Amino acid sequence: MPAPRRRNLLPSQLLHQCQNTGAPMSNPLSEISLLPPFDRMQPDHVEPAIAELIGNCRDVLREGLEQPGWDTTLAPLEEAEDRLTRAFSPVSHLNSVLSGDWRAPYEAALAEVTAYWTEQGQNPELYEVYRRLSETGGFENWPQARKQMIRLGMRDFRLGGVALEGEERERFAANSRRLAELSSRFANNVLDATNAWTYHTSDVEELAGLPVTAIAAAEEAARSRGNEGWTITLDGPSYLAVMTHADNRELRERVYRAFVSRASDVGPQAGKFDNSAVMEEILALRAEQARLLGFGSYAELSVASKMAPDAGEVTRFLEDLAARARPAAEREYADLRLFARESLSLEHLHPWDIPWAAERLKQSRYAISQEELRPYFPYPQVLAGLFSVVEKLFGVTVEEDASVPVWHRDVQFFWLAREGERIAGFYLDPFAREKKRGGAWMASVATRRQAKAGMQLPIAYLVCNFSAATGDTPSLLTHNEVTTLFHEFGHGLHHMLTRVDVAAVSGINGVAWDAVELPSQFLENWCWQPEAIAMISGHYRTGEPLPRALLDKMLAAKNFQSAMFTVRQLEFALFDFLLHSRPAGASVREIQQLLDEVRARVAVVPVIADNRFQHSFSHIFAGGYAAGYYSYKWAEVLSADAFSMFEERGIFDADTGLRFLGSILEQGGSRDALELFTEFRGREPSIEALLRHSGIDAVTTPDVQ
């Protein structure tokens, strides 16, 4: 997933620490170069740099308003704001991947940056510049990117409260600042709750069933904490290994209960990092923001800037897909219960049994497991294969540059080039570690734009949380993790391969949020193609490609429990959208009640009473997916339909690859998402390919408008 956007926040270049020679102190966050010098950045550089850059933005705007126009107002302001966003980006990033000393300066900077963007969004003089330019003679003949920036800018001014006055205006601005603070607090609580819980054992027999790689990781986790034995954490790789493979049912239950109750009022850390009050206040403030702008709910406000035509269409889309998927999901779950009872002697299938039992059913049915595949997907080989896939599809090459300063020894930096010319770059931070936020995401370092000094290259962060190498064994990925890497790289390509030179609509900027997952989900498809799998696989000891027998089993198992996975996503999406459709927010009790109601309608897998999924649902409470989690399924329709053209013409068909590049990746947000998709596919999107790829039978196949 892409990191949440605040306009186009990016980073800058940072800090020279001057010796005490009487020379003025130099702050690299106030200086501009393409790549942040992470080897010289310090937390105490943040506050003065952000204050200076915000002040400069205000000065530039003040001067620009004296003679309104594109060249006199908007172009200089873009230049100044780019410096600000490129300074704030590494601060935000380091808070996510290192936390610790960066948390306080990040939160202080976030407050100031949020206040600035809110102030800009409510500036009637700046809005008037946009309005007048849109009415200028010859506006329709402007370059497309500039026209789109003006159109989207006018929309965002309205959604930013530019028409509000007096007390309502002040209230909207105060709410915006408070919401930024609360989102950060929510994320901090989840991270702290995740880091605070561990289970240590000195008896390796307790870990029976865990793969060798997971046991080695647990031993390393203990060692890093100064202990002998084995330590289980709630980090993704550790948690998933226990839930999927641990034969110790008591251990599975212990870890499950700790995980699903994180940052809540129940569980082993009850009340310690509780997000209950945070959720209530976030929802109340979002509802108030919507009312102030004349919307009936925050969901309506959210959809106003998305591809979906209205809130009703989103609800119909989700409920229709749930109606199609739930019968298949019920059959899948019934099969699992029968297998658990007859083959595993589990009369009652508890939530902590389900992944474990499902893995055994999968092995029974297909004689394949993620762990059996893992030795064939060493991280270095997968990465090299990914780069080869992208080169064949889009004609770009990837080369590492070890001279670029990074924030951790595991991080690598790469340049993208076309015909020998560098066109973009990215940092890759692949492995899980303490104080690093869980999950996977892409974020912007710098956006492609026409700067004073020339064309600024786009730079991205790509972040995952895979298991690191242990001893002489490299990091070995499950196939699920392989698809995660492809997914995030798809986001990165959307950001890096743009040819747009106006920051507001370059890369992922200006792209409707419910279409932004199209390139990422699209690229996942190559993880399932035999020709591509031969490029990304190779046994870590022998280099042997994935054997045909294993490949056939993996492909046969592709849609194993896919309907159960689909309804789980729909459960989250419907809960999110219906929660934000309420006109006045919700109490903690009402949040739980709504989630229970959605589960009763959509879900097939039971949960325990102490399940507090919502308390760690960072996508909607700390990210950019509030009333937008449906975007994953909405964009999956687009991505499946787009890939179906490659199925028809060849998965490495050069003409089709260049067509996707030209119609989707290079265009960024310069044109509407539906228009771009229709240009590529030759028609509007259809849900048919998604249902086929998921193995879900379709009764009817209405187009998704």
Find the helix or strand (DSSP H, E) in which 569 lies.
helix 562-579
- What does the DSSP assignment read for 120-152? HHT-HHHHHHHHHHHTSTTGGGS-HHHHHHHHH
Asked whether 225 and 267 are in contact (CB, 8 A), the reply is: no
Q: Is 71 exposed, middle or buried (0-12, 13-18, 19+ CB in 10 A)?
A: exposed
Coil, helix or strand at residue 269: coil
Q: Could you tell me the end-to-end alpha-carbon distance of the chain, in angstroms, rounded to an integer?
A: 23
Close Cβ partners of 225 (under 8 Å, ≥ 6 residues apart) = 198, 231
Rounded to whole angstroms, the Cα distance separating 37 from 27 reads: 11
Rounded to whole angstroms, the Cα distance separating 344 from 247 reads: 11
Rounded to whole angstroms, the Cα distance separating 617 from 119 reads: 29
Rounded to whole angstroms, the Cα distance separating 112 from 6 reads: 13
DSSP 457: P
Catalytic residue set: 488
- Token look-up 């997971």 returns 214
Alpha helical stretches, state H, 311-421 = 311-343, 354-366, 370-373, 379-394
How many Cβ atoms from other residues are within 10 Å of residue 309's Cβ? 11
Find the helix or strand (DSSP H, E) in which 425 lies.
strand 421-431
Coil, helix or strand at residue 118: helix
Asked whether 608 and 351 are in contact (CB, 8 A), the reply is: yes
